[in-house]
Amino acid sequence: MRKAIYALILILLVFGGLSFVYISYSSVSIRLENLGISNVEVKPNLETLYDVLIGNLIGALLSVVNSIDLSAQLEISNPSFIPLYVPSIDYEIYMNGIYMGNGHIDDFSIPPQSSITKEITHRLYRNQIENFDDLALSIVKRNGYLDVKIKGYAHIIFLNIPFETTKRINVVEIVKEKIKQKLAGYTPAGSLGITDAYWVANGNRVYSVKPSTLVHAFITITGNPNYDGEVTVTVKQDNKGLPDTTVISRNYYVSLSSEQSRTVELTFTPEYHSYSRGYYIKVSWSGGSWTMESYYPPRLSVIKPTPIYTYTPTYTPTQTPTQVQGTGTLYVMDAYWIANGVKVTSIPENTVVTGYVIIQAVGGSYDGTVTLKVIHDNKGTPDTITKTQNFVVNLKSGETYDLTITFLPEYHWYSRGYFLKASWSDGSWTMPKSYPPRLSVTK
């Protein structure tokens, strides 16, 4: 009798464990993010292009567009309390309900209660897709809108979890911008045309990369109708609120006719900065210039480095900045929250928020590590750390540095909201206890 009871308990434990694993894996969700259309290739037909710009969008989409690049990011979330291993994902792409192709994502793991992003890129050629004309007509009928649907299965051990996610974009302005560039290329003798510009990393075309990845910028130029002279090709950093900076620049001498083209290459290593959107290409020559479209893509974005997470409860009373031995003092000049490009002090739950803490070195230079934390302000229980990120700073006296940390706030009845805390060698700063400046969260 006792053995039967033990066996029953063992069976229940095994069944319970398997049920827990099944529920955890089946909770995986996949969402389409950052959808973009870029590298729109159009035919260099002056009469047709001009006809399109004055309103004949059907002509544009049916007889001008040769190919496009579709780029997107799939955000894969694991809300469970255990890490999950996903051997592969297979998916199909539909545009306005029309099948456009399929793809595959190799194995990866997702930490508990977190998300990862997988980038997918597909180049769609008019002459290789049977339904390309149907797609063009559907875009016109929808006033320029394109509904991109990605559906498929996440293959997880003994499960095939289906997913389907859709996002809408307006492609008319993107096509118009490309056509305007083509028309601008039809200029008098002694000018250049840019027929292609793109980024390559690890042998593949890319639109976003991790910091310190070696990137090759390729630019194809042609005489329009001819050109003989010097050309300057530059990769620039696209800064927010600051002048753009040159990363690398090269001069070339070219002699080209309209039937000739030349591809030049610049190689650089991009960096991530909170004040920068990414990178773009600019080409200048005698009497003209060309700048990569202002969209992302085709401009190159840099993925923010993965921060260090910790969930250890902590509480430290506010301290004033202290003198670091042999250096100056760190002083917090300002601190605030940004969501959707604007300052906020209250936000609906599950809205991405970035906390900013602006520090300055005073009384001398400072060289060391600064730790920035987002802390959950709990009622009646110890506060808990939501996210931690470390920064290595080297500041001269008077110089400032923006500490940034991005997270997804949650609403809980037992919490007042969130606050920021910065700490360094022998010193720390904690956001004042009032609301604001602390961040409150609404349902």
Q: Domain coordinates of the chain in residue numbers?
A: 24-173, 187-304, 329-442
Residue 155 has pLDDT above 50, yes or no: yes
* CB contact set of 22 (below 8 Å; sequence gap of 6+): 159
- Which residues does residue 74 pair with via DSSP β-bridges, in sequence order? 32, 118
Asked whether residue 239 carries a pLDDT value surpassing 80, the answer given is yes
Asked whether the domain spanning 187-304 has the same topology as the one spanning 24-173, the reply is no
The pLDDT tens digits of the residues spanning 263-278 come to 999 999 999 888 889 9
Given a contact cutoff of 8 angstroms between Cβ atoms, the answer to whether 384 and 313 are in contact is yes
For the segment 287-308, what is each residue's pLDDT rounded down to a tens digit? Answer: 788 999 988 889 999 988 765 4
Which of 97-111, 320-334, 427-441: highest mean pLDDT? 427-441
**Measured distance between the N- and C-terminal CA atoms of the chain, rounded to whole angstroms:** 53
- 329-442 fold: Coagulation Factor XIII; Chain A, domain 1 (2.70.50)
CB atoms closer than 10 angstroms to residue 385 = 16
Structure confidence at residue 320 as a pLDDT band (50, 70, 90)? very low
| pLDDT on residue 304 | 81
E-only strand ranges, 286-414: 288-291, 301-302, 329-339, 342-344, 346-348, 353-362, 366-378, 384-395, 400-407
- For the structural domain made of 187-304, what CATH number should be given? 2.70.50.60
Q: Pick the range with the lowest mean pLDDT from 59-63, 121-125, 319-323.
A: 319-323
Mark out the alpha helices in 44-171 (DSSP H runs): 46-53, 57-59, 132-141
CB distance 84 to 114 below 8 Å: no
Check if the beta carbon of residue 332 is closer than 8 Å to that of residue 321: yes
Q: What integer is the mean pLDDT of 341-365?
A: 86
| Spatial CB neighbours of 232, under 8 Å, sequence gap ≥ 6 | 249, 250, 251, 252, 283, 284, 285
CA 230 to chain centroid, in Å, comes to: 35
**Whole-number average pLDDT of the chain:** 79
Residue 19 has pLDDT above 70, yes or no: no
pLDDT given for residue 232 in this prediction: 92
CATH 2.60.40.10 fits 24-173, yes or no: yes
Average pLDDT over residues 184-196: 66
Taking 80 as the threshold, does the pLDDT of residue 346 lie above it? yes
Kindly report whether the peptide bond that precedes residue 382 is cis, defined as omega within 30 degrees of 0: no
Burial of 231 (0-12, 13-18, 19+ CB in 10 A): buried
Residue 265 makes CB contacts below 8 A (sequence gap 6+) with: 216, 217, 218, 219
